[in-house]
Structures are given as structure tokens and as C-alpha cells.
């Protein structure tokens, strides 16, 4: 038979392949339909749901999600199509003829109510003990359809055990409505394929390979499934209790670092529209909650740029001048979801990963060494928390390699959602907080570190430094406002070439590593950026096949769609519009900062002068700021 | 005289019937079809008024015409040999005893719609047929009834593969079958698009029941008009019935459409039947008072399963059995079917225990109506049928059970 691999995901879950118009009158590409007796013209192939949206008619949905392909399984979106024997799922029905649609007939209303009643009858969970209380699509549907009693009974016993084996994702299948959004997320959006429906009939449930615990399968901890689950069935592994306990313990010095993406999104948890950063307000709120110090992860993002950029230069120098065999292209390593993806699916490319740790882990290592020394605190008494947009960061800080300070470098990864919860518990309304600054000795960081939060950000930050290092020119002279737009945007995979026409003197920081830049003169730097592991897979397959990405020098990979701002720990819901607004917030904040290049961050240069005295990629830095990876493969024993 | 293959397949050559079981020589239909144009074959099929025998009763000529008209480099014809409907076994008999009819029909189909490959999706439980059938296909290849330039017809290359199912009833539903063939979980797809446009591997595909394909072989040889002579106006030809239950002579019967239920009962020797379940678990339960109804698309349509229940049978028990079947066999994909069937079964159990109210039973009947309307595929759309028809047609028996419990109020 034919190669089935090309059709990996079930076609039922793929976007519609809409047949070509058969009737010449539709060849123009649009069709006039009637919705509740009102006429509307839509493009051929539009779903009934989209058409209704255009006509401003609300249709309830549950399994449908804008980021995902069609499922048509929950059936709450059914409508009547004249001439058809049965009701049709509006999310799954492409308009290919001038049909007449009715959205609120008796049969439709009854069907929707029945379906909601049925889902609730099987739903084991109580809203007041659920993290999705007030932000749950099942709950909203129940409200919308006025459910005021259990029409078809209600389960009284749990059927499944909660799976909290994973550092990142907790699965409570008793709250699952089998919408399969997680399945589609994992296999289509992320191309990981950890989750699938198992068993049949009433025993159907979402499970993993042989129903193993999540920690024992190839889950990359990206948490994208959490962000798209309509209910509380999926959540992150929540460390709030432990953190509160640390705050309450007077012997503990509790510090928190905050990444840029949570700052750009946490307002959403307080009813603010997407697209505004609350950095200053958050600093104040964190101190009021009881954190002893508040640091800016962007500081180590800047440091990452110096370390990773230096590593790249060294790899290129070895390859081009010393003619040594080195792994190129260099891959970024700051997204722990991506790192685990590569470890599972492309372990043979492990040497291509930059050995530089992620900003979170660099910070962790510095807090319990540099900062502890400076502040005169026993690192054993420091509890280091990282506010991240990401569920994979929880896994990352628990990797056995991440103990280079002699302690667990980062004690807890905390997500945006969880911190918002803590702030609420403390009775604080974040948007009304006065603003305040980050604590020294790390202070405010550069805009380059900040834009790490958006896809393309790491690359842009790296380029801002590398261009200045090598050419001696100001980035502003090459790219207006130092906005390197070719690497920005939301396209899944982006590629750019940067010709190096002239070179300048080697900056002091790198003088012990390379004598001059002449070997780079006339070269063209080839770079690429991708986000979402499905896109990462495309790039990796191209590299394997020796395509254009194999000729790149440096590639940025982010596990999550949109980059960190779309991370698995971010506020729910998510969609492309929300992610774009978060990106805007980040780029606007970058614009407003006085320092926008990592190497111009004064605290970073001071750190090299005072602590990392043998420079970027030197011995001290290697011990604290670099790491190694594990060849995991697809099968876990 | 039986050859070795016939012996292997357990061929009985003594069945006689007016249409399907009438005389036929291997390869006859292929030879005839290859001398005709595709359009002429479609015209014969149209004249025959043949409707799909898998249960849905969609006109075969239309299905093939649409698949033929779909523009694609590759197309497929699939023989649905999943035969999972409780109480049917006529497809197995056809495959064992008349493989020539089925395979020749597939070749004719392949020629008509422009497919290069035919796939038989064989029910997992029929695994014991796999080897003999594959040997049979090998013989066909030897005789150039399969392969390249079949019977010298330049450019007509066609072959048949057999793939085993894994035992899910829902995989008989054509789109779930295709998913299963592609190596995925057997779950029905959204429609539209239909398989005739977007089927196996995204290509135009015609899925046909075994009996449909067997009928095609006869129609091609003997003509559409000949076929349409049998049966009624809207239900042409004859039908194979798989008869089981309380009767003297269970088995596979070929009867013209339009036969009365009472006539069928007479033929199979069912003495004191009180109910007949027509069309399998998802069909309708006909009480004695309606035995004069006719088996035909215009009255009681069926895929061929006939289960007979005599006076001693407990109809609530029968119903419970059906509902348990659906609770297990739903693919679990869509809400109305996955959970709805559980609720209907619970209702049956309540009646069994005598702990129910009529208000609740009526609520369940309404739920059944929603399941018929809102389920994604034919399984959920028809699973409430027995619940609704048995409770309606046997209310006296069911609601006056001497079970000592608190009967419905
Ligand atoms: C739940 C379900 C099970 C089915 N099982 C079978 C089956 O076992 N055999 C079959 O031929 N058709 C079965 N069908 C019908 C098929 O979907 C399809 O209509 C048929 O194979 C088309 O062939 P025909 O046009 O020759 O009837 C089933 C349908 C449903 C909804
Ligand atoms: S998942 Fe939703 S409906 Fe269920 S308990 Fe949580 S908030 Fe309530
Ligand atoms: S966390 Fe990511 S990889 Fe793991 S199951 Fe969810 S979507 Fe799949
Ligand atoms: S776990 Fe959540 S996303 Fe996945 S099927 Fe269940 S309800 Fe849907
Ligand atoms: S109706 Fe039943 S068998 Fe059909 S798709 Fe829905 S759950 Fe699956
Ligand atoms: S939203 Fe359309 S079927 Fe679920």
C-alpha cells in the first residue's frame, strides 16, 4: 500500500479538504447562505460556525479551538441544515452549497442541553475545588444553558487516578470531557503525539502509550495541552504550597526571578485585556507577598546571549579557521520543551545544542553562588523561585544536571497562572499596585533579554550583539531602531541571511578567544527561527535531508507556538490574537528601555569583571552557566 | 465438481436462489464489463436500481458515478467485509461460497470508477478465511483476472488486497473503516467531505458491501432490467437474510424484496414468534401485530439481519442486551452516543429493578431522539432505535413485570 506516514494524524482531525466547486455558479468562490432567514455571502468552504460568527450569531462550542484542526466530537455546536435528516456540527461542516441554516430550533436547543447534561452527568469534580473555577468552558456552557439540576444523574465516585508523576503536567481524567483538544494539540500542533484516546465506548479515555504515567513517556512538558483544555482535567504541577511555606519560614531567604512573558500576560488573570506588561506593579506585589528579593530573568538572558553568542563564534572559528569538525548549525537551548523534544526525537543532534543553560538556570546557579557570597547568605537557606510562562521549566529545574551551585539551582518553577493565584490569595489587585524596580546586584536588564519572550527574540538579541561585536558598527546603523524585523513575526519558520561586508576590532571581552575578525569578512551569516515543535520537526527533517537549514549557522527553536509568551504556564485561553498582543507588549517594553543590547548591560560586564573572571565560555562560566544533555530516544525503559 | 479451493472455503454448491444464488461462472462479469464502456456499466446499474446492501441503501450507480467523476490520479474500491451487525452472517456465506461474485464485482467496480486497487476489509473474526481467500486471489492473478492489462484490456491494471480488522463493530462504518485502514483508531470522520471525494489516503474511494458487489456481478452479466424484475418498485432485486433465533431452520435465505415478515417466518419455521428484530441491534423490533409488514426500503428496510424471539423471551432482556452492545461498541468519540447509550442502559436497568418513573423514561426517550439527531455517525444515530421501538411495542409486557419492585408511576 502507499506510504501512510505522510498522513500521520487521522484525517478526521485534519482541516477539511474541501472539494472543488462542482457547480459553475460557485466558481467565483463565494456562496450565499441563509442563517435564521438572513442572507449572508461567505467564501466557499467556510464552516457554518465561521459563517455564524460573521453573522454575529453565537453558537456554543466545546471541542472546537481556533489553534487546532476540526474534531466535531462534542456536538454542542449542532445546527439544523434544511433538507438534512440529522443535525450538523457547525464547526465541522464546510459550506459548499447555498444551504439554509437554523441555529435555535427546538431540536437544536434540546440537543445542546442534552449534550451538556450528559457531559455533566459523567463529570466528577466540584467547581469550588478546581483551578478552572470561573474560567472553565464546561462550567460556562452549564450556565449558558441554565443547568440547575442533574437531569441524568451524577457520578459519585472517581473513575481514574490522578496522574501527577510529571514535574510539569497533572492529569485528572475525571474532569475530562473527551474533547480531544489535548490530543490534537500534542499530535498536530506539537507533533509529539503523547496523548490519544484509548479504549472504546464508555471506557474511552485519554491516555498515553500503554497508559503509562506521563513522566514515563515522551512528553516534552510544553504544557500546550493545558492551555487548550477546556476544563480542569489538565493542569500544571503546582508548587504554591511549598513556596508559601518557604515565605512563612523566617530562616529562609526567598528570592524570585521573573521572566518577561509572564509580565506581559499576567494582567489577563486580573481581567485586563491582553497586550500590557505589568513589570513594575508585579515587583511591588511580589515584595508585598513576602519575597525577599525580586530579580529580572532578563539579566541572565543577557548573559545567555554573551555565552551563547561566544559559543557560536568559537564554533565558527573552529570550523572556518582551524578546520576542525564541529556541530553546526548551533541550536538554541533556552526552551526546555524543545531540548527534551530533541533529546527524544533527534538525539543524534545533541551536540548541536548550545551548551549554554537557559536564563532560568543560569540565574539559579548565580543566585546560590555569586549573590549568596555578595549578600553573605548561606545558599542552603536560599529558596530560589522562577516565575516562568512555562510548564517545562518545572521539569528543567529538576534535571539532575542542574545543581552546579552545589544545591538545587532553582527550587521551584512557578507559572504565570499560579503566581496570579498567589497574588489573589494575598488580597492584592495587581493592576493597581504602584510600580517599583528590580533588586540589585542584577538590576534592570536590557531590551534584548526582554524580547526572549517572543519567537525570534533570542535570535534578534543575539544578532544585536554579534553584529556589533564583529562589525564594530552600531546595530541602529544597519537596522532602524535596532529592530531586526526579518526575524520577527509569527510565521512558523523564518530564514534570513546577513552578509558580513566589513569587520571591526575584536572587543575586549573576546580578545582571548579570537585574534581578529578577518576570517568572517565577506561571509554570510545564515540563520533561522522556528516556534512550535511541529515547525521544529520540519526544520530538523530538512537538516537531516541536507536542505537549506543544514547550511545555517544558528537556529532558534522554541517549543511553544509564539515562543515563551505562548508557554504552557500562561493564562488561559490562548489564541493567535492573544499571543500577538502579548508580543506587542514585549516589543513595546523593549522600545521603552534605555539599554537594548545584552553586551551593554552594565551588570553583565561587571559580572565578568568580578566573578566570571576568565570570560565568556571560560572555566567558571562552564562550571556554572553551561550544561550537557541526555540522549533519550523515543522509548523509555 | 468442487476444486480444492472450494473445499478449503467450505463451499456448498447446493444453494439455489433467484438472483444472488443464481448460476454464475468465475470471471464472467469481468469479461463482459471489459467489453463495455464505463458509462454503459453505470447505465446498467442505474436500470437495476440496485441499492447498497450494507444498510444505508444508497443507490450504487450514484455512488460509483460520483467516484468515477471525481478527478484524481489514484482511487480505491473497498469491499466492506466487516460484517459486525449482530445477527448477520450472510456476507461470510457469500465470501466463503461465492468469492467469485464478490471479487469479480470489485474488479468491475475498479474498472468503472477508475481504481487501481481494491481492498477487502475483512472482519477480524473471519481470519480463518484469509489464507483461502488469498489463495483464491492468487488463482485470479494466474488467470489474469487481476494484475496488469486484465484479460488483455490495455491499461486496465487492478489488484485486490485483504486487510484484517481488529474486532470493532464501528469499523464497519465506512469512514471509520478507512481510518482503521490508514492505521488509525477506528473512528468515524466528519462528513462532508464524503469518501467518494476524500476517502482512503485522501483519495476518492467507494466503499461497498459484499452483497452489493455480488449483485453487481450478476447485473453486469444478466442486465439491469433482469435484476429490476425482482422485488418491488423501490426495492429491486432480492436480499440475503441472515435468520437466527427461535425458528426451526436458521440460516441464510435469499428472498425477493417485498416479502412479508409473516412469509419469511413461515419459510424458516418460526412457530410462536412474538417479535422479530429486523436490521440488527440498531434496527427495529416488530411485534406480532405488525407481521404483515413487508421487507422493503419503503416499509421495513434492513441490511439483512432477522432475529426471531418467541413467547418465552423477555423483551426487556433483549433490549438490555442490545444496549449493552452499544455501550461497549460506541467508538467513544462523540458525546450523545458515548454517554447517551449508558443513560439508556441505566434506564433499562431501572425498569428491570422496578425503580423508575415514567417521567424519567420519557426523558430518556427524548434523549434517544437527540442521539438520533446529533450523533456523529450511524451508530449513535440508530442505537436508540431498539430502546424506542421495544419500549413502545412491548409496553404491556415491560411495564407490567411482576418484579415486586416499585413500578413506574
Ligand atoms: C455502525 C455501523 C456499522 C456498519 N457496519 C457495516 C458492515 O459491517 N458491513 C457493511 O457492509 N456496512 C456496514 N455499515 C454501512 C457502511 O457504513 C456503508 O454504508 C456500506 O458499507 C456501504 O456499502 P453499500 O453502499 O454497498 O451498502 C455500517 C454502518 C454503521 C453506521
Ligand atoms: S473542570 Fe470546570 S466544571 Fe469541572 S469542576 Fe472544574 S470548573 Fe467545575
Ligand atoms: S505537555 Fe506537550 S508534549 Fe506533553 S502531553 Fe502536553 S502537549 Fe504533549
Ligand atoms: S484532557 Fe482536557 S483537552 Fe484533553 S480531552 Fe480531556 S477535556 Fe479535552
Ligand atoms: S455516534 Fe458513536 S460510534 Fe459514531 S462517532 Fe459518535 S461515538 Fe463514535
Ligand atoms: S464544537 Fe463542534 S462538535 Fe464540538
Give CA–CA dist B221/A331, Å, rounded.
67
Q: Are A165 and A213 in contact (CB under 8 A)?
A: yes
Q: What are the residue ranges spanned by the domains of chain A?
A: 4-104, 118-236, 311-357+445-625
Mean pLDDT throughout B247-267?
95
B265 shares a domain with B139: no
Give CA–CA dist A441/A303, Å, rounded.
14
CB neighbourhood size of B362 (10 A)? 11
Please identify which of the residues A281, A343, A396, A444 carries the catalytic annotation. A396
B254 shares a domain with B137: no
Is residue A169 within 6 Å of ligand 3 at its C-beta? yes
B244 shares a domain with B139: no
Q: Check pLDDT > 70 for residue A24.
A: no
Is residue A266 helix, strand or coil?
Answer: helix
Number of domains in chain B: 3
pLDDT at B12 (0 to 100):
64
Q: CB of A202 within 8 Å of any CB in chain B? A: yes
Q: Among B74, B328, B374, select the one facing A115 at the smallest CB separation.
A: B374
Q: CB of A49 within 8 Å of any CB in chain B? A: no
Which one-letter DSSP state was computed for residue A529?
Answer: E
Q: Check pLDDT > 80 for residue A226.
A: yes
Q: CB of A115 within 8 Å of any CB in chain B? A: yes
Please identify which of the residues A334, A390, A397, A530 carries the catalytic annotation. A334
Q: Among A111, A178, A201, select the one facing B374 at the smallest CB separation.
A: A111
Q: Is residue B8 part of a domain?
A: no
Q: Check pLDDT > 60 for residue A445.
A: yes
Please report the residues numbered 176 through 235 in chain B whose beta carbons come closer than 8 angstroms to any beta carbon of chain A: 178-179, 182-185, 187-190, 192-193, 197-198, 201-202
Q: Do B190 and A1 touch (CB under 8 A)?
A: no
pLDDT-derived band at A21 (thresholds 50, 70, 90) equals low
- Tell me the pLDDT tens digit for each residue of B10-46: 666 557 788 999 999 999 999 999 999 999 999 999 9
Residue that is written with C-alpha cell 476444486 in the block: B3
B202 shares a domain with B135: yes
Q: Do B190 and A18 touch (CB under 8 A)?
A: no
- Atom 8 of ligand 4, nearest CA residue: A179
Mean pLDDT throughout B134-160?
97
Q: Check pLDDT > 70 for residue B407.
A: no
B260 shares a domain with B195: no
Q: Is residue B6 part of a domain?
A: no
Q: Check pLDDT > 90 for residue A422.
A: yes
Q: What backbone torsions phi and psi does residue A333 show, to the nearest 5 degrees?
A: -130, 20
CATH, range A118-236: 3.30.70.20
Query: Nearest-CA neighbor of A313 among A515, A557, A477?
Result: A515
pTM: 0.95
Give CA–CA dist A17/A27, Å, rounded.
17
- Tell me the pLDDT tens digit for each residue of A237-253: 999 999 999 999 999 99
Edge-to-edge order in the sheet of strand A412-415: A293-296, A253-258, A382-388, A412-415
Mean pLDDT of chain A: 94
Residue B92: give its domain's CATH number. Answer: 3.40.50.11540
- Tell me the pLDDT tens digit for each residue of B298-345: 999 999 999 999 999 999 999 999 999 999 999 999 999 999 999 999
Look at domain A4-104 and name its CATH class.
Answer: alpha beta
Whether the ω angle into residue A71 lies within 30 degrees of 0, i.e. cis, is no
What cell numbers appear for B283 in the block? Answer: 434496527
Mean pLDDT throughout A492-512?
94
B287 shares a domain with B170: no
User: What is the architecture of the domain spanning A311-357+445-625?
Assistant: 3-Layer(aba) Sandwich (3.40)
In chain B, pLDDT over 70 holds for what percent of residues? 95
pLDDT at B56 (0 to 100):
86
| Ligand 5 center to B287 CA (angstroms) | 28
Cite the beta strand spans of A445-512 per DSSP E.
493-499
Tell me which residue range forms the domain holding B278. Answer: 238-310
Mean pLDDT throughout A33-41?
96
Q: Are A595 and A249 in contact (CB under 8 A)?
A: no
Q: Are A390 and A567 in contact (CB under 8 A)?
A: yes
The bound ligand whose nearest atom lies closest to the alpha carbon of A89 is: 6
Strands A293-296 and A205-207: unpaired
Q: Which amino acids bring their CB within 6 angstroms of ligand 4?
A: A 176-182, 206, 229-231, 233-234
pLDDT at B18 (0 to 100):
86
Please report the residues numbered 379 through 398 in chain B whose beta carbons come closer than 8 angstroms to any beta carbon of chain A: 381
Q: What is the DSSP string of A561-597?
A: TTSGGG-TTS-S---HHHHHHHHHHHHHHHHH-S--S
End-to-end CA distance of chain B: 66
Q: Check pLDDT > 90 for residue B406.
A: no
Query: Nearest-CA neighbor of A632 among A124, A63, A221?
Result: A221
B62 shares a domain with B171: yes
Q: CB of A15 within 8 Å of any CB in chain B? A: no
Residues in contact with B163: Cβ distance below 8 Å, sequence separation at least 6, in sequence order? B119, B120, B121, B122, B181
Q: Are A330 and A352 in contact (CB under 8 A)?
A: yes
B131 shares a domain with B68: yes
Q: What backbone torsions phi and psi does residue B126 show, to the nearest 5 degrees?
A: -95, 25
Q: Are B91 and B120 in contact (CB under 8 A)?
A: no
Q: Do B175 and A200 touch (CB under 8 A)?
A: no
pLDDT at B55 (0 to 100):
87
pLDDT-derived band at B9 (thresholds 50, 70, 90) equals low
Is residue A339 within 6 Å of ligand 3 at its C-beta? no
Element (H, E) at A253: strand A253-258
Q: Do B375 and A70 touch (CB under 8 A)?
A: no
User: CA A46 from chain center: how many Å?
Assistant: 29
B196 shares a domain with B334: no
Mean pLDDT throughout A326-347?
97
Q: Are A428 and A285 in contact (CB under 8 A)?
A: yes
pLDDT at A496 (0 to 100):
96
- Domain boundary among the residues B200, B228, B256 is at B228
Residue B394: give its domain's CATH number. Answer: 1.20.1440.230
pLDDT at A637 (0 to 100):
55
Beta bridge partners of A94: A47
What cell numbers appear for B134 in the block? Answer: 488469498
pLDDT at B167 (0 to 100):
86
User: A627: exposed, middle or buried (C-beta count within 10 Å: 0-12, 13-18, 19+)?
Assistant: buried
Is residue A185 helix, strand or coil?
Answer: helix
Measure Cα distances from A113 to A110, A509, A598 in Å: 5, 68, 56
pLDDT at B409 (0 to 100):
44
User: CA A302 from chain center: how many Å?
Assistant: 20
Give CA–CA dist A41/A51, Å, rounded.
9
User: A455: exposed, middle or buried (C-beta count within 10 Å: 0-12, 13-18, 19+)?
Assistant: buried
User: A161: exposed, middle or buried (C-beta count within 10 Å: 0-12, 13-18, 19+)?
Assistant: exposed
B130 shares a domain with B272: no
Please report the residues numbered 16 through 55 in chain B whose beta carbons come closer than 8 angstroms to any beta carbon of chain A: none
- Ligand 2 atom at minimum distance from A120 CA: 3
Q: Which amino acids bring their CB within 6 angstroms of ligand 6?
A: A 61-64, 72-77, 89, 91-92
Residues in contact with B123: Cβ distance below 8 Å, sequence separation at least 6, in sequence order? B81, B82, B83, B84, B92, B165, B167
Q: Check pLDDT > 90 for residue B212.
A: yes
Residue B287: give its domain's CATH number. Answer: 3.10.20.600
Q: Are B122 and B79 in contact (CB under 8 A)?
A: no
Q: Is residue B4 part of a domain?
A: no
Please report the residues numbered 99 through 118 in chain B whose beta carbons come closer than 8 angstroms to any beta carbon of chain A: 117
The ipTM value here is 0.94
Element (H, E) at A313: helix A297-320
Q: Is residue B50 part of a domain?
A: yes
What cell numbers appear for A287 in the block? Answer: 515584595
Give CA–CA dist A126/A325, Å, rounded.
59
Q: Among B202, B346, B374, select the one facing A17 at the smallest CB separation.
A: B202
pLDDT at A20 (0 to 100):
54
- Domain boundary among the residues B251, B277, B310 is at B310
Give CA–CA dist A366/A616, Å, rounded.
14
- Atom 29 of ligand 1, nearest CA residue: B173
- Atom 8 of ligand 5, nearest CA residue: B331
What cell numbers appear for B118 in the block? Answer: 481494491
Q: Are B147 and B159 in contact (CB under 8 A)?
A: yes
B243 shares a domain with B221: no
- Tell me the pLDDT tens digit for each residue of A611-627: 999 999 999 999 999 99
Q: Check pLDDT > 50 for residue A281.
A: yes
Q: CB of A114 within 8 Å of any CB in chain B? A: yes
Q: Check pLDDT > 70 for residue A574.
A: yes
Q: Among B117, B201, B370, select the one facing A114 at the smallest CB separation.
A: B370
Q: Is residue B7 part of a domain?
A: no
| Ligand 1 center to B235 CA (angstroms) | 18
B166 shares a domain with B68: yes
What cell numbers appear for A542 in the block? Answer: 530538512
Give CA–CA dist A335/A140, Å, rounded.
34
Cα dihedral across residues B190, B191, B192, B198: positive or negative: positive
Please report the residues numbered 347 through 366 in chain A whose beta carbons come closer than 8 angstroms to any beta carbon of chain B: none
Query: Nearest-CA neighbor of B6 among B78, B89, B85, B96?
Result: B96
Q: Check pLDDT > 50 for residue B1.
A: no
Element (H, E) at A40: strand A38-43
SS (H, E, C) chain B: CCCHHHHHHCCCCCCCCCCCCCCCCCCHHHHHHHCCCHHHHHHHHHHHCCECCCCCCCEHHHHHHHHHHCCCCCCEEEEEECCCCCCCCHHHHHHHHCHHHHHHHHHHHHHHHCCCEEEEEECHHHHHHHHHHHHHHHHHHHCCCCECCHHHCCCCCEEEEEEECCCCHHHHCHHHHHHHHCCCCCCCCCCCCCCCCCCHHHCCEEEEEHHHHHHHHHHHHHCHHHHHCCECCCCECEEEEEEEECCCCCEEEEEECCCEHHHHHHHHCCCCEEEEEECCCCCEEEEHHHCCCEECCCCECCCCEEEEEECCCCHHHHHHHHHHHHHHHCCCCCHHHHHHHHHHHHHHHHHHHCCCCHHHHHHHHHHHHHHHHHCCCHHHHHCHHHHHHHHHHCHHHHHCCCCCCCCCC
Mean pLDDT throughout A150-171?
96
pLDDT at A7 (0 to 100):
41
- Based on the residue annotation, tell me whether A401 is a catalytic residue of this protein: yes
Q: Do A78 and B374 touch (CB under 8 A)?
A: yes
Q: Is residue B288 part of a domain?
A: yes
pLDDT at A12 (0 to 100):
42
Is residue A486 helix, strand or coil?
Answer: helix
- Tell me the pLDDT tens digit for each residue of A104-136: 999 999 999 999 999 999 999 999 999 999 999
Q: What backbone torsions phi and psi does residue A276 show, to the nearest 5 degrees?
A: -135, 135
Q: CB of B237 within 8 Å of any CB in chain A? A: no
Q: Are B10 and B98 in contact (CB under 8 A)?
A: no
- Domain boundary among the residues B310, B343, B369 is at B310
User: A75: exposed, middle or buried (C-beta count within 10 Å: 0-12, 13-18, 19+)?
Assistant: buried
Amino acid at each position: 500500500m502507499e506510504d501512510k506516514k505522510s498522513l500521520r494524524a487521522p484525517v478526521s482531525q485534519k482541516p477539511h479538504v474541501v472539494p472543488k466547486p462542482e457547480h459553475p455558479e460557485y466558481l467565483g468562490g463565494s456562496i450565499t447562505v441563509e442563517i435564521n432567514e438572513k442572507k449572508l455571502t461567505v467564501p466557499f468552504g467556510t464552516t457554518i460556525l465561521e459563517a455564524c460568527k460573521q453573522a454575529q450569531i453565537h453558537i456554543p462550542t466545546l471541542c472546537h479551538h481556533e489553534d487546532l484542526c476540526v474534531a466535531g466530537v462534542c456536538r454542542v455546536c449542532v445546527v439544523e441544515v434544511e433538507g438534512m435528516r440529522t443535525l450538523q456540527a457547525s464547526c465541522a461542516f464546510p459550506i459548499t452549497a447555498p444551504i439554509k441554516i437554523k441555529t435555535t430550533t427546538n431540536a437544536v436547543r434540546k440537543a445542546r442541553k442534552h449534550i451538556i447534561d450528559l457531559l455533566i452527568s459523567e463529570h466528577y469534580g466540584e467547581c469550588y475545588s478546581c483551578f478552572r473555577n470561573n474560567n472553565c468552558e464546561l462550567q460556562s456552557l452549564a450556565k449558558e444553558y441554565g443547568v440547575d439540576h442533574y437531569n441524568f444523574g451524577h457520578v459519585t465516585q472517581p473513575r481514574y487516578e490522578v496522574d501527577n508523576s510529571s514535574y510539569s503536567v497533572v492529569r485528572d481524567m475525571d474532569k475530562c470531557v473527551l474533547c480531544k483538544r489535548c490530543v490534537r494539540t500534542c499530535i498536530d500542533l506539537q507533533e509529539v503525539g503523547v496523548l490519544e484516546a484509548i479504549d472504546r465506548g464508555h471506557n474511552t479515555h485519554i491516555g498515553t502509550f500503554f497508559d503509562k504515567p506521563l513522566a514515563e513517556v515522551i512528553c516534552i512538558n510544553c504544557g500546550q495541552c493545558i492551555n487548550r483544555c477546556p476544563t480542569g482535567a489538565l493542569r500544571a504541577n503546582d508548587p504554591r504550597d511549598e513556596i508559601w511555606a518557604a515565605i512563612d519560614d523566617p530562616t529562609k531567604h526567598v528570592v524570585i526571578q521573573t521572566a518577561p512573558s509572564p509580565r506581559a500576560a499576567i494582567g489577563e488573570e486580573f481581567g485586563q485585556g491582553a497586550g500590557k506588561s505589568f513589570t513594575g506593579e508585579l515587583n511591588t506585589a511580589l515584595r508585598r507577598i513576602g519575597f525577599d528579593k525580586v530579580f529580572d530573568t532578563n539579566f541572565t538572558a543577557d548573559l545567555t546571549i554573551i555565552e551563547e553568542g561566544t559559543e557560536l563564534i568559537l564554533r565558527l572559528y573552529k570550523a572556518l579557521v582551524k578546520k576542525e569538525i564541529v556541530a553546526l548549525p548551533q541550536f538554541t537551548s533556552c526552551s526546555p520543551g524543545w531540548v527534551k523534544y530533541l533529546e527524544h526525537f533527534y538525539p543524534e543532534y545533541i551536540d548541536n545544542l548550545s551548551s549554554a543553560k537557559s536564563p532560568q538556570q543560569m540565574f539559579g546557579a548565580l543566585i546560590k553562588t555569586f549573590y549568596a557570597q555578595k549578600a553573605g547568605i548561606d545558599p542552603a537557606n536560599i529558596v530560589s523561585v522562577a516565575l516562568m510562562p512555562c510548564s517545562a521549566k518545572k521539569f528543567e529545574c529538576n534535571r539532575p544536571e542542574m545543581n552546579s551551585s552545589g544545591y538545587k539551582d532553582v527550587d521551584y518553577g512557578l507559572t504565570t497562572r499560579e503566581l496570579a493565584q498567589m497574588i489573589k490569595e494575598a488580597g492584592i489587585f495587581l493592576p493597581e499596585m504602584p510600580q517599583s524596580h528590580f533588586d540589585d546586584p542584577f538590576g534592570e536588564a536590557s531590551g534584548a533579554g526582554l524580547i526572549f519572550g517572543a519567537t525570534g527574540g533570542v535570535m534578534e538579541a543575539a544578532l544585536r550583539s554579534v553584529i556589533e561585536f564583529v562589525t564594530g558598527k552600531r546595530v541602529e546603523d544597519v537596522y532602524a531602531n535596532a529592530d531586526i524585523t526579518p526575524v520577527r513575526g509569527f510565521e512558523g519558520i523564518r530564514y534570513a541571511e546577513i552578509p558580513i561586508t566589513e569587520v571591526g576590532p575584536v572587543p575586549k571581552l573576546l580578545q582571548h578567544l579570537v585574534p581578529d575578525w578577518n576570517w568572517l569578512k565577506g561571509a554570510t551569516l545564515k540563520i533561522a527561527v522556528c516556534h512550535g515543535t511541529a515547525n521544529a520537526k520540519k526544520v530538523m527533517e530538512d537538516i537531516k535531508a541536507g536542505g537549506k537549514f543544514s547550511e545555517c549557522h544558528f537556529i532558534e527553536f522554541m517549543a511553544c507556538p509564539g515562543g515563551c509568551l505562548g508557554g504552557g504556564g500562561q493564562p488561559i485561553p490562548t489564541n493567535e490574537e492573544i499571543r500577538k498582543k502579548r508580543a506587542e507588549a514585549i516589543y513595546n517594553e523593549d522600545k521603552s528601555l534605555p539599554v537594548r543590547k545584552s553586551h551593554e548591560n552594565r551588570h553583565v560586564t561587571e559580572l565578568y569583571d568580578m566573578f566570571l573572571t576568565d570570560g565568556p565560555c571560560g572555566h567558571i562560566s562552564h562550571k556554572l552557566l553551561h550544561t550537557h544533555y541526555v540522549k533519550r530516544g523515543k522509548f523509555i525503559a | 465438481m468442487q476444486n480444492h479451493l472450494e473445499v478449503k472455503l467450505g463451499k456448498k454448491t447446493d444453494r439455489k436462489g433467484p438472483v444472488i444464488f443464481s448460476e454464475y461462472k468465475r470471471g464472467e462479469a469481468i469479461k463482459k464489463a471489459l467489453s463495455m464502456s464505463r458509462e454503459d456499466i453505470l447505465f446498467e446499474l442505474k436500470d437495476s436500481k440496485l441499492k447498497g446492501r450494507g444498510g444505508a441503501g444508497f443507490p450504487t450507480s450514484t455512488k460509483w458515478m460520483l467516484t468515477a467523476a471525481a478527478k484524481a490520479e489514484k482511487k480505491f474500491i473497498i469491499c466492506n467485509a466487516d460484517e459486525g451487525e449482530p445477527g448477520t452472517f450472510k456476507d461470510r456465506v457469500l465470501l466463503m461460497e461465492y468469492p467469485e461474485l464478490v471479487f469479480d464485482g470489485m474488479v468491475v467496480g475498479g474498472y468503472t470508477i477508475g481504481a487501481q486497487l481494491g481492498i477487502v476489509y475483512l472482519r477480524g473474526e473471519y481470519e480463518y478465511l484469509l489464507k483461502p481467500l488469498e489463495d483464491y486471489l492468487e488463482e485470479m492473478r494466474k488467470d489474469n483476472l487481476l494484475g496488469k492489462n486484465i484479460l488483455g484490456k490495455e491499461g486496465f491494471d487492478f489488484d485486490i488486497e485483504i486487510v484484517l480488522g481488529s474486532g470493532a463493530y464501528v469499523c464497519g462504518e465506512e469512514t471509520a473503516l478507512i481510518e482503521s485502514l490508514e492505521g488509525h483508531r477506528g473512528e468515524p470522520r466528519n462528513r462532508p467531505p464524503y469518501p467518494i471525494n476524500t476517502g482512503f489516503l485522501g483519495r476518492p474511494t467507494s466503499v461497498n458491501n459484499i452483497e452489493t458487489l455480488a449483485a453487481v456481478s450478476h447485473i453486469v452479466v444478466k442486465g439491469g432490467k433482469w435484476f429490476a424484475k425482482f422485488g418491488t418498485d423501490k426495492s429491486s432485486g432480492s436480499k440475503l437474510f441472515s435468520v437466527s433465533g427461535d425458528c426451526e431452520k436458521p440460516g441464510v435465505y435469499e428472498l425477493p424484496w417485498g416479502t412479508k415478515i409473516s412469509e419469511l417466518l413461515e419459510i424458516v419455521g418460526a412457530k410462536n414468534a412474538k417479535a422479530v428484530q429486523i436490521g440488527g441491534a440498531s434496527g427495529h423490533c416488530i411485534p406480532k401485530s405488525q407481521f404483515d409488514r413487508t421487507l422493503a426500503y419503503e416499509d421495513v428496510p434492513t441490511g439483512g439481519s432477522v432475529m426471531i424471539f418467541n413467547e418465552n423471551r423477555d423483551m426487556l432482556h433483549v433490549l438490555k442486551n442490545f444496549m449493552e452492545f452499544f455501550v461497549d461498541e460506541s467508538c467513544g468519540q462523540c458525546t450523545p452516543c458515548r454517554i447517551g447509550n449508558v443513560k439508556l442502559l441505566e434506564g433499562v436497568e431501572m425498569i428491570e429493578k422496578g425503580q423508575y418513573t415514567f417521567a424519567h423514561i420519557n426523558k430518556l426517550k427524548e434523549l434517544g431522539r437527540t442521539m438520533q439527531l446529533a450523533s456523529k455517525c450511524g451508530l449513535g444515530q440508530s442505537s436508540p432505535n431498539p430502546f424506542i421501538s421495544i419500549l413502545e411495542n412491548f409496553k404491556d409486557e415491560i411495564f407490567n413485570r411482576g418484579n415486586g419492585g416499585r413500578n413506574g408511576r
